[in-house]
Structure 1
Amino acid sequence: MPTRTRRALVSLSLFFGTCALAGSMLNGRVNAQSATDESTVRDSLHQFTDVYSVVEGNYADKLDTDKVDKVIYDGAIPSMLHVLDPHSNFYDPKAYAQMREDQHGRYYGVGMHIQPQMGKDGVQRVVVIDTFDGSPAYKSGIKPGDAILFIEGKSADGMDSLAVSNLLKGPKGTHVAVQMQREGADKPLTFDLTRDEIPRPSVDLAYFIKPGIGYIHVTQFMETTSHEVGDALTKFGPEMTGLIIDLRGNPGGLLNEAVAMSDKFLSRGDIVVSQKGRSFQDVVYKANHGEQGKKYPIIVLVNRNTASAAEIVSGALQDHDRALIVGETTFGKGLVQTVFQIAENTGLALTTYHYYTPSGRLIQRDYNGVSLYDYYYVRNDAKPADKSNLEVKQTDSGRTVYGGGGITPDEKIESPHSNAFENNLLSHAAFFDYMKHYLAHRSIDKNFQVDDAVLTDFKSFLKTDKVDYSDADFNTNLSWIKMNIRSQLFISQFGANEGFRAAKDDDPQIAKALTFMPEALALEERSDKSKEQRTASIK
């Protein structure tokens, strides 16, 4: 048998063996598979190896090692899992390492976002998009727009982001020399960077968005999320009279962190979420500590990309009438994956449970007969939602809520839809390139505003950069243009967080959400009254 075929068989045998073990675990009976099940697995494996042997022997191109890995890791295994559901997944060694890094929320490196861009000289280079606040790259003075020329004397031309990232990462305390090209500089700049632990907080913004109103932006649920949220609440202190929790675009993450975060806003003993599966016992997660200190109205801002653990928090706070949910109907991911580590640093994320909100709602969206692409990217939001087939539940105070299609907001706020003019500017990286031009020979302070002089300069830059637009386009999108110019300049001058904060200050959805604070206060009062009535009836 050829070496490549043996390698494929080893990979597949390992995977099917792990699936068999996982199946035994899911049935709650280790080594309890029937002979028929084992025979079916052997037959399936045999059929696959027969097909693979034909492919290897007759395919037009020679199957090298990389192509063998793609056949197994990117083809056979993911395809098999996606027949089950959209969220069961297989992680090859690189993806598994990245997943673990994301869950920990930290790594060792220099701390910057990078991506390839085509330079004016026609050479594609990896460019710094922003640096993490407090990171070695930030402290050294590296700026967004700096193009990476050399790393430890090795040319970075033609490298992709992953290759550059791997060279920049390394043990804590080690050095890496990086040469950069900066617009407006007479010659390349060299930085001697000392690698350090790079924390990636899940709460990247926490500040008073207006007097007395705290704002917390949670990007994902990692091992540190509930602790970060607690720190933000402590920082706000007794001066806070209302809170906005922004979960827009939050893809989810660790279930236990979603439970721990919800615990900070609910009453002790309140159900946060329930897990129900075929093989394991049902699990009910409750608030162990409950909200401490005075209560205040809460608004949770969500959109169509709020998913999984973020939906657990949204659903729990909605069902217990603790927060007003504002925005768009969320993604609808109610399947829980257990990650089984497999040999050779690979992992299998297998759906083992469905989760339900405290009122009993299943949040999972229907995926039967839907392609994987359509499930993730094509959702018809133009038509009014048909709730006739959705399960109907009630919150603690008797409000109607719906299950089976994500978390439906109490108050709807549409996400802004980009137009052709906006897409044109973004595709040309107009704001990023203008930032490099504007700051090449000047700086700004935090009182900076985009005035008429800046707008005139931006128009001239667009013409020089051959970006077509009309005066009507420009005037119609003026607020959006100002927000993007100011945000991009702040990212470069003061760091990513200040740039993101500048964008939030001008965010129309946040401005609209703030107008619902009286409704959130009324909901809080309704919740308190409902709890008093339930307590009295028990007595």
Structure 2
Amino acid sequence: MVNRTRRALFSATIFLAACGVAGSVFGGVSAQSATDESALRDSMKSFTNVYAVVEQNYADKLDNDKIDKAIYDGAIPGMLRVLDPHSSFHDPKDFAQMREDQHGKYYGVGMQIQPQGEKIVVVAPFEGTPSYKAGIRPGDVILAVDGKTTEHMDSTAVASMLKGPRGTHVSVTMGREGTAKPLVFDLIRDEIPRYSVDIAFQIKPGIGYIHVTNFMETTSHEVQAALDKFGPINGLLIDLRGNPGGLLNEAVNVSDKFLQKGDIVVSQRGRAFPDQVYRAPSGSNVKYPIVVLVNRNTASAAEIVSGALQDHDRALIVGETTFGKGLVQTVFPIAENTGLALTTFHYYTPSGRLIQRNYDGVSLYDYYYARQGALPANNTNTEVKLTDSGRTVYGGGGITPDEKIAELKSDHLQDILLQHYAFFNFTKHYLSDHTVTKELVVDDALIQQFKDFLKSEKIEYTDKDIADNLDWVKSTIKAELFTTQFGQAEGMRIRAEWDPQISKALTFMPEALALENHTLPAQQKTQTASK
């Protein structure tokens, strides 16, 4: 009872701290009136009274796990959800993961794993890590870690067992197709970097391609390293599709590589703290055209970069209207390794566009998954602004692209093959008695072997299905084989070279050059939001 009471008091303290540091929840701590303070005390009293009634009368015994869930997954998230979709509370486990993601490194063996049926399967070892050096392959099944079976474990539990202090040993038992006995790997844990630029290469002669997955502490350095590796180029495609954002300062530092010194990157405005304007600290003299590819899952820091380059006419934005996440969360450490990510500012692009889209009266499901595309031009809530050269751009609903590129949609065959891990499992099967070189051509004979494999796995298809998707099938087979044989980067390169959205984005490089030279036709300077 004493321990539970302490937990309850601790949880109440978190709740009070959340209300106190927020300001915006109850009207601002620094200027709170006596009436406000009384209302806060009454709210706290109601909370603790409800908790006491639950603790004393609930049908089941309230153990520590249920108490934690009631507080961490119920009371506090419920309060924050009323405010906006992005304020959130991080329990100790989530808080530790968030810090790991921001640092861009952890200590372990370096492999991506996923559940596949009842098994935990290696998706790919990361290049240069202990797993990669030891010869672990995509498709290997993790049977045991340090002699403890992984049966009935989820991938999170297995990943936790693989992590540990640098320099320590971990024994991993693997099952591999074509190998009669399990393979045992003695791995020495090391620092595992997490790269936000997972692929960068010249996709066409003189045209660089960079895919940025998120914005963490190393992102601007990784982008610079990619640019250095390219050498002199005549154009750049920055792929921000699916980028959920991350650290604000890294968004500023990445933007700085393409803007003039002193250019505004983003402004943030709130109630409890002074407004802040972030400018390009150093600037750059690069003059090549830039195309930025975005989609509906490009969010937050990635929208800051897209909006800044668009407003300063430094890049042509192509793709889909972005997510529209322009609420800034400040992380307040609370106690016992927990943290409150509370919305304290709104993001605005250099032209003054609000990035955040409307969320009033919208369920969390609809907000994240069922939202619509670009705002119509006649929407009275749409902000109309001008870029440096006088082009019309719109705010209040993400970043609207200068040129639309349709969303990639899969057909029935693609869905079936991916649901059954057909390419992944075919790669295991094929490489059990074959090797491939970088000169590999996916010819008719290899396609026939793939078809035979599908039949052996009882995966239904027709020859017409394959013919209608032949380019996709060939590129996916090659990408999976290259991932296993040469590493993830080579596999991603094959996928990028096939990707229709990337191919379409590259066709807009002349328009990006015209934008860089401020010679866009007049009709493009007066585009509509529905374009």
TM-score w.r.t. the length of structure 2 is 0.94
Q: Counterpart of 2:9 in structure 1: which amino acid?
A: L
More deviation, 41-50/431-440: 41-50
1:92-151 deviations in Å (ceiling 9; x for gaps): 000000000000000010001111222xxxxx2211111111111011100011111111
CA contact (8 A) 1:26 1:279 kept: no
Aligned residues: 521
CA contact (8 A) 1:321 1:527 kept: no
* Corresponding residue to 2:222 among 188, 209, 228: 228
* Corresponding residue to 2:249 among 228, 246, 256: 256
Over aligned residue pairs, what C-alpha RMSD do you find? 2.1
1:333-363 deviations in Å (ceiling 9; x for gaps): 1111100011100000010101110111001
CA contact (8 A) 2:20 2:29 kept: no
Paired with 2:384 and 2:127, the residues of 1 have a C-alpha distance of: 45
CA contact (8 A) 2:17 2:334 kept: no
Alignment match, 1:10: 10
Q: Counterpart of 1:476 in structure 2: which amino acid?
A: D
- The verdict on how the C-alpha distance between 1:111 and 1:387 changes in structure 2, with shifts beyond 3 A counting, is farther
Paired with 1:528 and 1:290, the residues of 2 have a C-alpha distance of: 24
More deviation, 476-485/191-200: 476-485
Q: CA deviation at 1:15?
A: 2.9
Alignment match, 2:109: 110
Paired with 1:429 and 1:235, the residues of 2 have a C-alpha distance of: 34
- The verdict on how the C-alpha distance between 1:76 and 1:392 changes in structure 2, with shifts beyond 3 A counting, is same
Alignment match, 1:88: 87
Alignment match, 2:42: 43
Q: CA deviation at 1:277?
A: 0.7
CA contact (8 A) 2:313 2:387 kept: yes
Alignment match, 2:287: 295
Alignment match, 1:20: 20
CA contact (8 A) 2:23 2:272 kept: no
Q: Which runs of 5+ in 2 are unaligned?
A: 523-531
Q: Counterpart of 1:395 in structure 2: which amino acid?
A: T
Paired with 1:472 and 1:5, the residues of 2 have a C-alpha distance of: 67
Paired with 2:4 and 2:45, the residues of 1 have a C-alpha distance of: 16
Q: CA deviation at 1:331?
A: 0.3
Paired with 1:495 and 1:214, the residues of 2 have a C-alpha distance of: 20
- The verdict on how the C-alpha distance between 1:174 and 1:3 changes in structure 2, with shifts beyond 3 A counting, is closer
Q: Which runs of 5+ in 1 are unaligned?
A: 119-123, 531-539
- The verdict on how the C-alpha distance between 1:269 and 1:26 changes in structure 2, with shifts beyond 3 A counting, is farther
Paired with 1:249 and 1:467, the residues of 2 have a C-alpha distance of: 30
Q: Counterpart of 1:199 in structure 2: which amino acid?
A: P
Q: CA deviation at 1:330?
A: 0.3
- The verdict on how the C-alpha distance between 1:258 and 1:429 changes in structure 2, with shifts beyond 3 A counting, is same
1:14-65 deviations in Å (ceiling 9; x for gaps): 33134313439998865x5333233222222222233233333443433222
Alignment match, 2:187: 193
More deviation, 137-146/482-491: 482-491
CA contact (8 A) 2:19 2:25 kept: no
CA contact (8 A) 1:336 1:351 kept: yes
Alignment match, 1:130: 124
Q: CA deviation at 1:470?
A: 2.1
Alignment match, 1:533: none
* Corresponding residue to 1:368 among 357, 360, 365: 360
Alignment of 1:166 onto 2:154:
no
CA contact (8 A) 1:26 1:280 kept: no
Secondary structure (helix, strand or coil) at the match of 2:23 reads helix
More deviation, 58-67/372-381: 58-67
Q: CA deviation at 1:386?
A: 4.6
Equivalent residue runs for 1:357-436 within 5 Å: 357-381=349-373, 385-389=376-380, 390-436=382-428
* Corresponding residue to 2:203 among 199, 206, 209: 209
Secondary structure (helix, strand or coil) at the match of 2:81 reads helix
Paired with 1:483 and 1:133, the residues of 2 have a C-alpha distance of: 21
CA contact (8 A) 2:22 2:28 kept: no
Secondary structure (helix, strand or coil) at the match of 2:231 reads helix
Paired with 1:305 and 1:35, the residues of 2 have a C-alpha distance of: 44
CA contact (8 A) 1:125 1:148 kept: yes
CA contact (8 A) 1:24 1:33 kept: no
- The verdict on how the C-alpha distance between 1:394 and 1:387 changes in structure 2, with shifts beyond 3 A counting, is same
* Corresponding residue to 1:334 among 326, 337, 340: 326
Q: CA deviation at 1:70?
A: 1.0
Q: Counterpart of 2:402 in structure 1: which amino acid?
A: D
Q: CA deviation at 1:452?
A: 0.9
CA contact (8 A) 1:150 1:179 kept: yes
Q: CA deviation at 1:161?
A: 1.2
Paired with 1:36 and 1:421, the residues of 2 have a C-alpha distance of: 63
Equivalent residue runs for 1:476-487 within 5 Å: 476-487=468-479
1:279-331 deviations in Å (ceiling 9; x for gaps): 21111111121113x41000000000000000000000000000000100000
Paired with 1:496 and 1:385, the residues of 2 have a C-alpha distance of: 40
Q: Counterpart of 1:61 in structure 2: which amino acid?
A: D
